Chains A and B, each alone.
Chain A
Amino acid sequence: MKTNFKIAFLFSLILVLSAGISTAQTDASKTAKVKLKGIYIYSFAKNVYWPQDYSTGDFFIGVYGDNDLYSQLNNSYTDKLIGSQKIKIKFFNELDQIKDCHLLFVCEEKMKDIGSVRKKISKQTLLVSEGENLVTTGSMINFIYIQSRLKFQVNKTKSEKNDLKIGQTLTKLAHSII
């Protein structure tokens, strides 16, 4: 019986921190955020309509500065179709690497370059940013966090002026539209 009671004693002393928190916790959270952003960007691509000239060949999504997002988009969406166009993902680390795309995402760290970015791309490039607000970014879609939720703002006026038609899904679900 002695041994049994020892076991019982051990049981009552189980003090195991079973799910150790490490940087992996934050890493997983970061991966989730990147994935969420990727899904939004893919939805933007699906719900914005480009002029006829842009509806042939491959569909290019450019990412300026965010390598994790680039990898996520590249792994999840490369060769998926937008209409009849195959998605191709491009990554730009430097301003002078930026070329025309159907959609260009500028990450928060590169927002200081947004003015220069605008000058380098055609008007038909859907510029997606993550700045404080849509007006200051001068982009057509802007990511913002409202009460922990990732949301987006749409500059419908500017988009339409540049022959980009914003679909109803986006206008319906946008946090704000100008």
Chain B
Amino acid sequence: MPSAIEVQHLTKHFREVLAVNDLSFEVETGRVTGFLGPNGSGKTTTLRMLLGLVHITAGVATFGGRRYVEIEHPIRHVGAVLEATSFHPSRRAEDHLKMVAIGAGIPLSRVGETLELVGLSDVGRRRVGKFSLGMRQRLQLATALLGDPEILILDEPANGLDPQGIQWLRTFIRHQAAIGRSVLVSSHLLSEMEETVDDVVIVSQGQLVLQTTLADLSTRAGTSTGMRVRSPEIGRLTGVLATSNVAFRPIAPDTIAIDGASPEWLGPLLAQHQIVVYELVHEKGSLEDVFLTLTKGFDAAIPGAPSLGAPPGGSQAPPPGGTPPTPGPMPGGQS
């Protein structure tokens, strides 16, 4: 099956600043692709170049082989929700959609349909100036869906949505893929997207870090980092480890971490010495850790590159299995 979106050697200079640097990736038909990177990594610029809003310095971006500007009535094929798009405050939501529908030759019956789809039917006659951020986001989504497009481009669509809204958005995105549509959705938080995407395109500093499947990324994340033990007899355990020349790190007075250890190795050892254990944890990296390591390592690889925003360290959710978040890089500590 051909790619829905093809990006080849895309480059953008804003005067002296290189915002996007020789970026190439593909979005496969019928799949949800997460476009991930820290703030300021060139995601929005890339998406706007795809849509012909930002002038491309070099390279090409196509939808089924055609550039956006070459498509007749493009919003019937590519729907977009972009950040910082606004509405005229005194225009009614319904009129906004009508105006777009008429301009693209879309039947006006779609206006009511899309309003209902995003849950704005009751406020269609209201002026957009009175809308909350979440309602505007839904109206943007309605605008994107108006032409029943086969490709959707969503730039940080979860911004401004409440938890129910985000849950709704995830279901919505999965549904789009289920009916054969291709979705490219950007986010600076992998955790926000890991239940939603099939593939990931990770960028940092305007360059591609990695394009792979979420499954592959999970495999990388699932790599064991070691064991953590909490025991009232921690002194006996450390004694045993010291005699076997095994390195360990004290975490708390009754807790230690043994890097590189496996459950298969540690379990029999504890049984053999009859050590009472309160807590035994097999530590694995989370997806977010892999994401942070990938994007951070990439920053460091560029000599003199400025740090772009703090890594979202505070937002890590504990991964399933009860492991507390590993102490990741401190916010703002990456300079």
A-B complex is real: no
Binding site for A on B (CB under 8 A): none
Binding site for B on A (CB under 8 A): none
